């Protein structure tokens, strides 16, 4: 849930004024690019650009901003190191070793491969957060209904289902504690864990189905589905600035990939 | 499913109407009927798999300005009838509808439920299951938007609906942040915004605490004040609604109309008859009937708390009060001394909470749910923990029962530290019944479910089988022993959950909101079981928001407010004091009726029917 979904005052930057479909679409080419590139510079540049765009354009709350600025680099390093341990050492025998532990060598090449992978994941997450920090699920659904001809019955049902999630989290917690009291906690290991998980599924599903039925009855009773169209009170317009945003982001993407390609690592 | 229509020219005294009166050119009769917002013509509803129809052959009309209370014994089909008024039965729920339901002249069989929402709006029992969007304003706009109204109309309707229920200032907030009463008021605003002339409310306050109930009825009063709507209401908190209602329709146990008339004529005039039929009456009326039987000349019968107070004050003399029943617990437990001057080992509390503080991270913020709570429960007590939503009642109960392990040294049962007991041992000391019985079922048959606990603790199989049979017998589940627990009815599930907690014969039974979301009859059935267990010596701790239930069954009450115990003591004393009001609760009807008495001083501290002559 974003801050706005919780009814808190969301800080607003210019990204909030854009159609969420463009904040979804514009970073897509760069995201595809991240799957293809293998160097270090390009993903690093893209990640930095994306984070800068979020900080300037979405003006997230200090806590969120800190999580992005600190969290993403840390995650990149941790992921990068983990990936480097998985790199096939046989393919990298020529590379100079950084660390020797007995027979095992941690090579420079492995470290670089790991870091590159970590950077690509970090860049992907940063690109996705452009959408995530600048809009709410509701606005995205409104935009999709208005511009992508998403049937409103599908869109609003999805939004209603979205509200179930925190409810189910609470319910699952209750079921777990109930089962623990009944002595389901017995046993360790994956099989006991799986058994406990499965035994929680039945009551959770039974409750979920009942709740969904009630919500559906309430929605029907309030005219949901009375006709093929529905008043859209929140107009999510597509304006010239949306086109400008897409062009600027695409141009930036091309420049970053060009620059990144020119840098020799 | 609606095949039976219109094959019934039967109902002899009714004129055969054209099949689609709303399409026929208006006639003089139509104009005369313009104010008839609901017309039931021999309506019978048979649930899939049921052998008889409840309700059965109900005919009635409801006009603009009327507020109709639908009453009936358990199983008479009053909620079922409510669900048929906007077409949910038979369109969305598996049941057969015979006869005809006309809302604003439209046959519900000819339109879909969403289309009928222009003529009839609904408010359901569970406020959580009616919320779809992320802000209060969006929520109220949802209905009018579905009807395709222009944006200006949507907004103006939303504003007037939110103002009517007092939520306009909170329109930007997430509905989750409203209290239970607030969310139900929101549901009423959503119904209002549809601008349908008929509003149907199905047990709208069953899930609310007393303050929430008051809030909802204040909002509803606002709605009916202008006389533009007709309201049909199913409700069991009768004391709150009688002065709002203009007419009562009573369904008998067989599902047919027993009485239909002005509220006073039916409730006061037919009180004895309704009582024998198993129909709920206002608590004030029940009290007056009881006093009448004891010789007090109360006439006419009071229907509200205020009327009962006035009726008693008019009498010079009241029947003599019975001597207070000797407490079932040892006398020392009744006026027990403070914990510091405990006399002997026999008087030690069975369950003792000392300095319990519970903190939890909620949304990244550390919140203190319980502040330094201390509490004693003695053998044979029935302790009720009360408080508004969010006061920490369930948290306290779970810590007491070790369901959520408390910090070491804070909760002791019979001298054992709950925090250090493993679950198997704990189940022998205290049985816990969850609010939703389904949460605690883990086996595939009723018998296995009962056997699970003792087998886990290594009780011999023969002994387990003996206990299981005894429990099945006791809770009337013998015929269902091989049934899957999830396939039981609601009442059977509840009985099974109590059975699984009791099978290890724990000296204490803890129950979390045992009456929440249940109909009155089922709640009464459970409370009867608890009374019986208590009489046999089981100590009971329960959390409840129903203060009349607390007054009727609890020996002791602990009042929680914002995580602190603000009062604890004997039920009579707590109910006679103002501590409940100070904790944001409302005293139950009888306590409210007796405490302001000008005469009859010794009556002022009474709070339950059982104390009356």
Neighbours of B507 (CB within 10 A): 17
Are residues A223 and B138, on separate chains, in Cβ contact within 8 Å? no
- Please name which of B181, B311, B190 lies closest in space to residue B237, comparing C-alpha atoms: B181
> End-to-end CA distance of chain A, in Å?
38
What span, in angstroms and rounded, lies between the C-alpha atoms of B115 and B138? 20
In this predicted structure, the answer to whether residue B333 has a pLDDT above a threshold of 90 is no
The answer to whether the CB atoms of A179 and B442 lie below 8 A apart is: yes
pLDDT along chain A (265 residues), means of 10: 42 84 94 90 94 92 91 93 79 71 78 90 94 89 91 89 85 86 70 79 88 93 91 88 94 94 81
Report the 10 Å Cβ neighbour count for B440: 25
**Global confidence as pTM:** 0.81
Separation in Å, CA B520 to CA A24, A118, B154, B240, B278: 52, 60, 38, 15, 11
CA angle B586, B587, B591 (to 5 degrees): 155
| Structure token digits, residue B449 | 């479910």
pLDDT at A8: 42
Residue of B nearest to A167 (CA): B128
> What is the pLDDT at residue B324?
63
CB of B498 less than 8 A from some CB of A? no
**pLDDT, tens digit, for every residue of B242-266?**
989 999 999 998 899 999 999 999 9
Q: Is A220 in contact with B88 (Cβ distance < 8 A)? A: yes
Q: What is the pLDDT of residue B519?
A: 66
Name, in order, each residue with C-beta under 8 angstroms of A87's C-beta and a sequence gap of 6 or more: A109, A110, A113, A114
Q: Locate the chain A residue with the closest alpha carbon to B132.
A: A160
Query: What DSSP assignment string belongs to B384-426?
Result: EEE-STTSSHHHHHHHHTTSSPPPTTSEEETTEEGGGS-HHHH
Cβ contacts of residue A262 below 8 Å, gap of 6+?
none
Joined tokens for residue B103? 């809302």
pLDDT in tens, B270-312: 998 998 888 888 989 999 999 999 888 888 899 999 999 999 9
Structural domains in chain B, CATH included, are: 35-274 (3.40.50.300), 282-316+587-613 (no CATH), 331-335+346-582 (3.40.50.300)
Q: What are the two backbone dihedrals, phi and then psi, of residue B67, each rounded to the nearest 5 degrees?
A: -120, 105
Residues 93-132 of A with CB under 8 A from B: none
As a whole number, mean pLDDT of residues B81-87 equals 94
Element (H, E) at B43: strand B36-47
Q: Give the pLDDT of residue A189.
A: 73
pLDDT of amino acid B114 = 94
Query: Dihedral angle at the C-alpha atoms of A208, A212, A215, A219, nearest 10 degrees?
Result: 160
Contact B43, B102 (CB under 8 A): no
Here the tokens at position A89 are 């050492």
Nearest to B89 by CA among B137, B31, B48, B145: B48
Q: How far is CA B205 from the centre of its chain?
A: 7
pLDDT of residue B367: 82
- Which 112-131 residues of chain B touch chain A by CB within 8 A? 112-115, 117-118, 121-122, 124, 126, 128-131
- Does the pLDDT at position B568 exceed 90? yes
Nearest Cα residue to B132 out of A145, A136, A158: A158
Could you give the CA distance from residue B470 to residue A94 in angstroms, rounded to a whole number? 78
Chain A residue with Cα closest to B122: A221
Touching B: A residues 210-239, CB under 8 Å = 211, 214-227, 229-233
Q: If we measure between CA atoms, which residue out of B337, B249, B321 comes closest to residue B67?
A: B249
Q: For residue B239, how many other CB atoms are within 10 A of its CB?
A: 24
CA within 13 Å, CB half, B225:
9
């Amino acid at each position: 849930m974003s801050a706005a979904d919780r009814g808190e005052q969301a800080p607003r930057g210019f990204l909030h004024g854009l159609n969420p479909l463009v904040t979804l679409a514009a970073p897509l080419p760069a995201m595809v690019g991240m799957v293809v590139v293998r160097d270090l510079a390009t993903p690093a540049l893209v990640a930095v650009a994306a984070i800068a765009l979020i900080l300037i354009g979405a003006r997230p709350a200090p806590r969120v901003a800190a999580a992005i600025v600190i969290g993403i680099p840390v995650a990149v390093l941790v992921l990068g190191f983990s990936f480097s341990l998985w790199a096939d050492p046989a393919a990298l025998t020529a590379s100079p070793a950084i660390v020797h532990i007995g027979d095992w060598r941690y090579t420079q090449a492995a470290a670089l491969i790991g870091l590159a992978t970590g950077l690509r994941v970090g860049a992907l997450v940063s690109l996705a957060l452009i959408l995530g920090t600048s809009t709410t699920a509701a606005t995205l659904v409104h935009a999709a209904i208005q511009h992508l001809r998403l049937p409103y019955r599908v869109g609003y049902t999805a939004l209603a289902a979205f509200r179930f999630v925190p409810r189910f989290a609470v319910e699952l917690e209750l079921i777990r504690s109930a089962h623990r009291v009944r002595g389901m906690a017995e046993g360790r290991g994956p099989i006991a864990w799986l058994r406990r998980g499965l035994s929680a599924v039945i009551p959770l599903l039974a409750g979920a189905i009942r709740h969904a039925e009630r919500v559906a009855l309430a929605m029907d009773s309030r005219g949901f589905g009375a006709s093929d169209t529905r008043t859209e009170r929140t107009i999510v317009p597509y304006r010239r600035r949306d086109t400008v945003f897409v062009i600027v982001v695409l141009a930036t993407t091309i420049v970053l990939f060009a620059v990144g390609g020119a840098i020799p690592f | 499913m609606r095949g039976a229509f219109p094959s019934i020219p039967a109902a002899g005294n009714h004129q055969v109407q054209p099949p689609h009166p709303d399409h026929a050119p208006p006639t003089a009769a139509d104009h005369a009927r313009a104010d008839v917002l609901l017309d039931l013509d021999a309506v019978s509803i048979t649930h899939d798999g049921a052998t008889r129809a409840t309700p059965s052959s109900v005919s009635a009309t409801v006009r603009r300005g009327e507020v109709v209370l639908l009453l009936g014994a358990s199983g008479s089909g009053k909620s079922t009838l409510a669900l048929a008024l906007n077409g949910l039965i038979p369109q969305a729920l598996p049941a057969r509808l015979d006869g005809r339901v006309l809302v604003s002249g439209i046959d519900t069989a000819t339109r879909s439920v969403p289309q009928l929402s222009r003529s009839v709006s609904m408010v359901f029992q569970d406020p959580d299951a009616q919320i779809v969007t992320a802000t209060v304003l969006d929520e109220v706009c949802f209905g009018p938007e579905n009807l395709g109204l222009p944006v200006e109309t949507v907004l103006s309707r939303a504003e007037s609906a939110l103002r009517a229920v007092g939520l306009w200032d909170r329109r930007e907030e997430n509905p989750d942040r409203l209290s239970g009463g607030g969310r139900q008021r929101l549901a009423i605003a959503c119904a209002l915004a549809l601008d349908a002339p008929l509003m149907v409310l199905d047990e709208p306050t069953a899930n609310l605490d007393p303050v929430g109930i008051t809030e909802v009825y204040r909002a509803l009063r606002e709605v009916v004040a202008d006389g533009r709507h007709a309201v049909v209401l199913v409700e069991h908190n009768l004391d709150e609604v009688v002065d709002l209602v203009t007419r009562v329709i009573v369904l008998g146990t067989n599902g047919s109309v027993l009485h239909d008339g002005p509220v006073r004529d039916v409730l006061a005039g037919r009180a004895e008859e309704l009582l024998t039929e198993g129909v709920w009456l206002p608590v004030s009326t029940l009290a007056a009937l009881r006093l009448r039987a004891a010789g007090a000349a109360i006439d006419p019968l009071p229907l509200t708390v205020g009327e009962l107070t006035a009726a008693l004050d008019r009498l010079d003399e009241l029947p003599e009060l019975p001597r207070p029943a000797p407490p079932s617990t040892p006398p020392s437990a009744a006026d027990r001394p403070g914990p510091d001057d405990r006399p002997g080992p026999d008087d030690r509390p069975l369950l003792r909470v000392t300095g319990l503080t519970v903190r939890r991270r909620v949304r990244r913020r550390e919140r203190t749910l319980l502040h330094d709570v201390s509490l004693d429960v003695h053998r044979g007590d029935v302790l009720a923990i009360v408080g508004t939503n969010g006061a920490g009642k369930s948290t306290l109960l779970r810590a007491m029962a070790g369901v959520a392990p408390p910090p070491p040294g804070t909760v002791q049962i019979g001298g054992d530290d709950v925090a250090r007991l493993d679950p198997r041992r704990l189940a022998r000391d205290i049985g816990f019944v969850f609010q939703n019985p389904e949460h605690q079922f883990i086996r595939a048959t009723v018998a296995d479910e009962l056997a699970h606990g003792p087998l886990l603790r290594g009780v011999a199989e023969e002994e387990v089988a003996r206990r299981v049979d005894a429990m099945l017998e006791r809770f009337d589940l013998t015929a269902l022993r091989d049934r899957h627990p999830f396939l039981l009815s609601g009442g059977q599930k509840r009985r099974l959950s109590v059975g699984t907690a009791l099978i290890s014969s724990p000296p204490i039974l803890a129950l979390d909101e045992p009456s929440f979301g249940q109909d009155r009859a089922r709640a009464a059935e459970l409370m009867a079981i608890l009374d019986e267990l208590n009489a046999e010596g089981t100590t009971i701790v329960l959390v409840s928001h129903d203060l009349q239930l607390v007054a009727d069954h609890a020996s002791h009450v602990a009042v929680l407010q914002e995580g602190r115990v603000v009062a604890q003591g004997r039920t009579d004393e707590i109910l006679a004091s103002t501590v409940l009001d100070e904790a944001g609760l409302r005293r139950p009807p009888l306590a409210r009726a007796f405490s302001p008495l000008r005469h009859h001083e010794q009556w002022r501290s009474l709070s339950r029917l059982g104390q009356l002559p």
